[in-house]
Structures are given as C-alpha cells and as structure tokens.
Chains A and B, each alone.
Chain A
Amino acid sequence: RKEVEQDPGPFNVPEGATVAFNCTYSNSASQSFFWYRQDCRKEPKLLMSVYSSGNEDGRFTAQLNRASQYISLLIRDSKLSDSATYLCVVNGAGGSYIPTFGRGTSLIVHP
C-alpha cells in the first residue's frame, strides 16, 4: 500500500466550480501535512499547511481528519489559473524529517 495516495485525475471542471481533492496516508504517526501546487515543468510550491482545526486561505480550504487518516483540499470559484497538479505531502512519522509526497492530482479548469 502506498504511504500517501491521491486520485491522479484529471479533474476537469468549468470556471466558477467548486472542486475537492482527498489524500489518504497510511502512517498514523505522521505529524505535518501540506498541500503543494505544481505547474507543468515547474517546481512544486507550497500552497498551504494543513492543521487539525482546518484552515482557509481565500478560495482554498484544507482539512485534516486524523481518525480516518486523510487530508482534503477544497477550491471554491475555480479560476483558469488554478489548473495545475496538487501534491499532498505528509511528514514527521517516527521522528523523520523526510516528507512523503503523493503523486499528485491534476486539475484542469476550462472556460
């Protein structure tokens, strides 16, 4: 079983739509959680950290469910510029500083 699993998509949505991605992780001792965004042929960039209480940054909301071992990302009012691959990252299990990346979920927002 992969340590961090994501639906690769692509999720194909119209502008203005709300779209949600989930990511499951296998190690219950994981301590840090992040969402990254990666544009085609570019490096991953931190989108937001994910906290147990949930957090929001503009149109983006991230949530962590420790009991079910998943994190989610909700994008409201999708823009064309949101088209990218979204990577789920989990860190800190067993005292490790090596994060585990999911393979990413592809989002395509069309006019």
Chain B
Amino acid sequence: DVKVTQSSRYLVKRTGEKVFLECVQDMDHENMFWYRQDPGLGLRLIYFSYDVKMKEKGDIPEGYSVSREKKERFSLILESASTNQTSMYLCASSLGREPQHFGDGTRLSIL
C-alpha cells in the first residue's frame, strides 16, 4: 500500500518565520504535489514536481517555494510566513495519470 507521510499533523508558527513542510512517499512515484485546502475553496495546487529537481508552479505559488532533491521527498517552504497562509496543507504523490495518494495533512497556524 502506498504511504505518503507528512512530517507534522499540527504546526504553529509566527509571522515572518521560515516554515518547512516535509513529505515523503515510499512507492517510487514520479509525481508529487502540494495543495492547500481552505473551507469553501476546495483543493488548490501550490506546486507540482514530476521528477527530481523539477518543479512547476500550480495555481497559487506566491509566497511558497519547493525542493525535490530526492525522488521520495518533496518539501514545501514558506519563505516568510503570513497569517493568510494559515491552512490545511496536503501532499500527494502519483504514478503517471493514476490516482493520487494523499498524506494525512498538516494543519498550519500562523500567529
């Protein structure tokens, strides 16, 4: 069974901090994704990676960056956290056009 592991379930940070969210998958999937989900807005894609060191911007990349140095790990970085980045962050991985598998999510609060 595919396992996607996110480093934290809950995280509280302060405005202006640099925040790292880590995601690891164990199924050798090429594709990895970072989403945020807010009430009434559905899932919104922040960044997507289809290979090591490759990345593409999603719908809402502003204020975020990503890193994929190894195939199994995809990191989301909030360069300078702001209160409007308080949200649920979801990592997913997939093989080709097969269904995505999601991690448990990280509930991030920026104070």
Q: Which residues of A approach B to under 8 Å, CB–CB?
A: 31-32, 34, 36, 41-46, 49, 87, 89, 91-92, 97-99, 101-104
Contacts and interface: CB of A to CB of B under 8 A. Distances in A.
Most B-side CB within 10 Å, residue of A32, A36, A92, A101: A101
Given A98-B45, A98-B48, A101-B42, A92 B105 contact: no
Contacts of B90: 43-44
Interface stretch (B12-20, B68-76, B77-85, B96-104): B96-104
- Size category of the B interface is 20 to 34
Contact of B50 (A41, A97, A99): A97
A44 B90 CA distance: 9
B37 to A, nearest CB: 9
Interface in B87-111: 88, 90, 94, 96-105, 107
Interface of B: 31, 33, 40-43, 45, 48, 50, 58, 88, 90, 94, 96-105, 107
Main secondary structure of the interface of A (DSSP, over half): loop
Contacts of A34: 99
A110 B102 CA distance: 28
B103 A91 contact: no
Contacts of A104: 42
A97 B31 contact: yes
Given A32-B98, A49-B99, 13 more contacts: A41-B107, A44-B43, A44-B90, A44-B102, A45-B102, A46-B101, A89-B99, A89-B100, A92-B97, A97-B94, A98-B48, A101-B42, A103-B40
